[in-house]
Amino acid sequence: MIALYILLGLLGLLLLLILIAVVRTLLAPRLHSDYQAPPADDRAALYAEKLSRMVAYETVSVPDTDQREKFLGFHRLLEELFPLVHQHLEKTEIDGNLLFHWEGLYHDKPLVLMSHQDVVPAEGQWLHEPFSGDFADGKVWGRGASDTKCSVMGFFQAAEELLREGYVPPQDVYLSSSCTEEYAGPGCPKLVAELQRRGVKPFLVCDEGGGIITDPIGGIPGNFAMMGVFEKGKADVRFTARSDGGHASAPPRNSPIVRLADFERHMERRSPFQKKFEPEVRAMFERLAPYAGFGMRLLFSNFWLFQPLLKLVMPMVSNLAGAMLRTTIAFTMQSGSDACNVLPQEASVWANMRFIPHQGMEESLALTRRIAEKYRLEMEVLSASDYSRATDIEGEGWKLAVRVVQQTFPGLPVSPYVMTGATDAKCYQEICDNIIRFAPVIYGPEQMKGMHGVNENIEISCLPGAVDFYRNLIAAMGSL
């Protein structure tokens, strides 16, 4: 009987807490994100023409290949498009990577504006040729239009216009652009090393990565400024199973491919990686919650009650949402026998891992290795790097970036964002505490699908806002 009373008491307490959460949610008004880019005008057409020419110049980067001459050709195009930048700023070129220094009134809190020149290969059937730079249907089409020559154009054009006006920035400004970002190559580290050699410690770095994302999470409609504050780490790993091989007519138990399959199933269905809401992830959902329907508002506005439930349901909301909570492993390539009737003496599967701060590179790899050994697999780490340090979302750099977004895009909600991919910005954490990953252009579903896919494009109506964002950010450094 006592146990029953205790159970009823706990049930009553739970119902009371749920009632409190419901009342809190009902009392908090639902918000709406109504920001849209203004219709394209003459400025948009001018910027689209410049971006079109940049896209039409093929800058696919290839690992372990000397491509400096190709990128020097792209630099000559930049000089034609942005002559004042090249006349007035100090230019440094390192193996195709670019660094421009614009001297300001003061030098104690430099600003770095950065994005990469290189693009990934273009495969498949495109509506417009991938290196055409076609301007059609209010969009610039082609590889690099959204990832990320749009932001390179944006900050070069911002500097060009300010120079034409005779403007002197309040702080030193650096324009940084590597040509090896797409394969995490040595370009950006070389630029950072050059800044280290000069003794430069930027106050703020603004790279690509986030952006103005349309419908960032299922159930939350509208445009939102999603500003990346840290990146997950990553590793490429190979798992190998061995045997004596043999003829497929008399198959043994636990052949190499079966062991690999069992291991893959184990990692997917019984993941060893812990789910946890990092402070930045929790802040993201709390800031997005007022824009959701009642059910999501109830859950995300009351973490104090529903956090255990949210850990379970987040992967159901979206794959991206689930990836923000834990280390992930994705199996991407596989090899075995060369014939259908031959058992392989060796079979392998390759995987890409992404590490979360609460369970970083060393712990995640150790957990994975222990499970692989249970299935008699060899594990080889081909490359690995840990997660990046997080930018303080209560700090001066973050608040400055938020003010500039609100100034440039009135009515646009702002939220921190966790990069599940990788950018060059990570290289700057050696010399800078405030790193924001935000390309100030609109990425709708079509643009998100085209990034590294087919039919990449960008709406030209959002290009003036990108230029204005960089102009305003340069000016805002005077308020520090």
Task: Set out the domains of the chain in order of their start, with CATH numbers.
Answer: 42-231+388-479 (3.40.630.10), 233-385 (3.30.70.360)
What sign results for the dihedral spanned by CA atoms 259, 264, 269, 275? positive
- Measured CA to CA, the distance from residue 203 to residue 477 in angstroms comes to 9
Helix 396-408 and helix 463-476, axial crossing angle in degrees, nearest 10:
140
Q: What is the pLDDT of residue 236?
A: 95
The residue annotated as part of the active site, out of 160, 181, 182, 456, is 181
Type and span of the H or E element at 401: helix 396-408
Using CA atoms, how far residue 429 sits from 76, 209, 231, 426, 445, in Å, is: 30, 15, 11, 6, 31
- The answer to whether the beta carbons of residues 233 and 361 sit under 8 Å apart is yes
118 flagged as catalytic: yes
Q: What is the pLDDT of residue 8?
A: 62
Query: Which amino acid is located at 44 in the chain?
Result: A
244 flagged as catalytic: no
**What b-and-e string marks burial along 160-182, b requiring 16 or more CB atoms within 10 Å of the CB?**
bbbbeeeeebbbbbbbbbbbbbb
- Measured CA to CA, the distance from residue 228 to residue 162 in angstroms comes to 27
DSSP 391: P
Token pair recorded at residue 301:
């506005």
- The answer to whether the beta carbons of residues 196 and 431 sit under 8 Å apart is yes
Q: What is the pLDDT of residue 318?
A: 77
Q: What is the pLDDT of residue 248?
A: 76
Chain centroid to Cα 281, Å, comes to 14
Burial class (CB in 10 A: 0-12, 13-18, 19+), 370: exposed
Phi/psi at 359 (nearest 5 deg)?
A: -150, 75
Q: What is the pLDDT of residue 339?
A: 87
Give Rg (Cα) of the chain. Answer: 25
Residues of the chain with pLDDT under 70: 1, 4-5, 7-10
For the chain, report the end-to-end CA distance as a whole number of angstroms: 66
Least Cα distance to 63 among 171, 186, 242, 149 occurs for: 186
Beta-sheet strands, E only, within 243-377: 246-247, 328-335, 342-343, 346-355
| pTM confidence score | 0.92
